[in-house]
Structure 1
Amino acid sequence: MDPAAMEKELVHDFSPFFRIYKEGRVERLMGTEFIPTSVDPKTGVESKDVVVSPKIGLSVRLYAPKLHNRNQKLPLLVYFHGGAFCFMSPFCAIYHNYLNTLVHEANVVAVSVEYRRAPEHPLPAAYDDSWTALKWIASHVNGDGPEDWLNFLADLDNVYLGGESAGGNISHHMGLRYGKQKLEGLKLAGIILVHPYFGGNEPIGAEANDLEKIEFTEMLWRLACPETTGRDDPLFNPLADPNWASLENTRVLVCVAEKDFYRDRGWCYFEKLKESGWEGVVEIMESKGEDHTFHLMNPTSEKALDLLKQIASFINTRPKA
């Protein structure tokens, strides 16, 4: 076939998110812009980019709020963006603006991870990159790591993992890996799963009413993880993992949206974790009348602000000893 024709021949069309062409080119349609770091004029939050591993192209964007007490270290939020493992970036306007707002509201230091994306880098690349980022953060435990913001501003005994959609999936798996391996230098205080991107072979709840979305979700998942065993792969369906309750015994906040296709998966995760004998504490919040990642699309809406405040409260409410 003529190379010019191959260039134009679509293999997968996941518009409005991304397209894949026969010759292998990936055309991302959302979250492709690069927003420079700055001091945000609305919140006073400052940001900067740091390369973690030049070898694999792993970098992070750091955020620090306007400090009122320079002698007090702040909780650290490690944030994993969504996008079905295939699109979006910490550097795009949606995530940059959201992290500025979240860091200001919660008064935390944040590390937003730019993991490698599928299909060019299929899973487990995103998981491995995220774990590498956590190990890099842990290298600052003695205050002599490569990044001063983490050495002097972040409380590594008070670390939260969070993200929405695919980022929620990553947050779960980082909590699971931490529970199995630990990570000297970091003490995990909580995990925040917002509209987590989970699935399973058997439809649950309202999923059974949307077979087209089930098919679409499976196509996306197989594209991100070509070697998967399917929708009951423990990477996609945490409940299919017999050891899933080895998740670190910490606090977990699950956030779901009433109209979201993945709502019932979030509720099932919450209920099964609570019943599993797991020794942590799990909470759930549902945003009525809203859909998947609505808070990113309409961040100033009343429900988005409610979700923001709930996340901030979760981070800043330490359990009683």
Structure 2
Amino acid sequence: MSEPSQASDRYTTPEPSPQIPVVSKDITVNLSKSKMMRLYVPTAAPNGGVSPKKLPLVVYYHCGGFTAGSIKLDLDHNLCNIMAWKLKAMVASASYRLAPEHRLPAAYLDGVDAVEWIKYSDDEWIKSYADLSNVYLMGTGSGGNLAYNAGIRAANLAPLRIRGLFLNQPLFGSEERCESEVNADPPSILNSVDAHWKLCLPVGANRDHEYSNPTVGDGPDIMEVMGQRGWKVVVSGVEGDPLVDRHRNVAKLMKEKGVDVVEHFTDGDVPNLIDLFASIRNVIHSSAP
């Protein structure tokens, strides 16, 4: 699959294609904050428009370093389409406010709002197809960071139940460089990462803030709570990513704190999505109530 352009918007697909049998639509979550959500449902699951069995729900947060990105971009739209198809799940791609106009924790609060909105939603697709007892939060890059931080903030959502996280190349950091960052080629790639942190962290904070570095402060204790909740977490990365050692270190600490973690790391510079989705599908359907 060729990588789509991230610069162009993709409209919803009300009719499935033979290549990807998924339909999608946009809904407004909060007009005052201009938040939108794009829903994806695989047409192979519904029977005559009514699903014989409700589908696991994956709430997805897009990448962009907290300063860019959109649920409408080709990159994320195509990913969610394939994800809904391969996972046999409903996907809700949630927008969120961006920095520097809206610094963290604004995106985290929007991420939680999206899940809470789903809990109370009267949307026909959510009511018909989403199994709210089998919900996962997922994100790529900054979206992975958001999924982690929204997940630990979400509480008292019954009957909606979050069962785990899928963190795809999550954006984490610290003032001390990990080995893969030290060996980054070219080294200047870290300048872009650092710039994103300067724009999205609270004014005056550095990369050892808890929003950036989940291993400091209450981070390890929070991971213990995740383990106590019985969450399953998939952490994925690629060897060509300068942050790959950070991904491994976070996964290792989660395991030490009792979290059920599946690691999915591949060679090269881009993830093998088919293999990644196979790992995620195993987690989703093995955890089904």
Normalising by structure 2, what TM-score? 0.88
1:201-220 to 2 correspondences below 5 Å: 201-210=175-184, 212-220=188-196
Name which of structure 1's ranges 209-218 and 77-86 shifts more when overlaid on structure 2: 209-218
User: Aligned residue for 2:88?
Assistant: 107
User: Aligned residue for 2:230?
Assistant: 249
Name which of structure 1's ranges 186-195 and 220-229 shifts more when overlaid on structure 2: 220-229
Q: CA deviation at 1:30?
A: 4.3
Partner AA of 1:78 in structure 2: V
Partner AA of 1:185 in structure 2: P
The 3-state SS of whatever aligns with 1:122 is coil
- In 2: Cα distance, 1:72 partner to 1:116 partner: 34
Identity of aligned residues (%): 31
Partner AA of 2:129 in structure 1: L
User: Aligned residue for 1:77?
Assistant: 58
User: Aligned residue for 2:198?
Assistant: 222
- In 1: Cα distance, 2:160 partner to 2:139 partner: 18
Name which of structure 1's ranges 85-94 and 117-126 shifts more when overlaid on structure 2: 117-126
- In 2: Cα distance, 1:136 partner to 1:244 partner: 24
User: Aligned residue for 1:309?
Assistant: 278
Q: What is the CA deviation profile of residues 150-193 of structure 1, one whole-angstrom value per residue up to 9, with x for unaligned ones?
A: 11111000001101100110111122113xx3323311122100
Normalising by structure 1, what TM-score? 0.79
Larger radius of gyration between Structure 1 and Structure 2: 1
User: Aligned residue for 1:125?
Assistant: 106
8 Å CA contact 2:97–2:110 kept in 1: the answer is yes
User: Aligned residue for 1:176?
Assistant: 152
Unaligned runs of 5+ in 2: none
- Whose RCO is larger (CA < 8 A, sep 6+)? 2
Q: What is the CA deviation profile of residues 56-112 of structure 1, one whole-angstrom value per residue up to 9, with x for unaligned ones?
A: 111100011112552211100000011101112111111111111110111111100
8 Å CA contact 1:31–1:89 kept in 2: the answer is no
Unaligned runs of 5+ in 1: 1-28, 140-144, 296-302
User: Aligned residue for 1:21?
Assistant: none
C-alpha change, 1:47 and 1:165, in structure 2 (3 Å) is: same
The 3-state SS of whatever aligns with 2:126 is helix
- Which residue among 168, 189, 192 is the counterpart of 2:166? 192
C-alpha change, 1:235 and 1:249, in structure 2 (3 Å) is: farther
8 Å CA contact 1:274–1:282 kept in 2: the answer is yes
Partner AA of 1:313 in structure 2: N
- In 2: Cα distance, 1:68 partner to 1:35 partner: 22
Q: Please say if 1:167 is aligned against 2:146.
A: no
User: Aligned residue for 1:234?
Assistant: 210
C-alpha change, 1:78 and 1:230, in structure 2 (3 Å) is: same
- In 2: Cα distance, 1:114 partner to 1:80 partner: 7
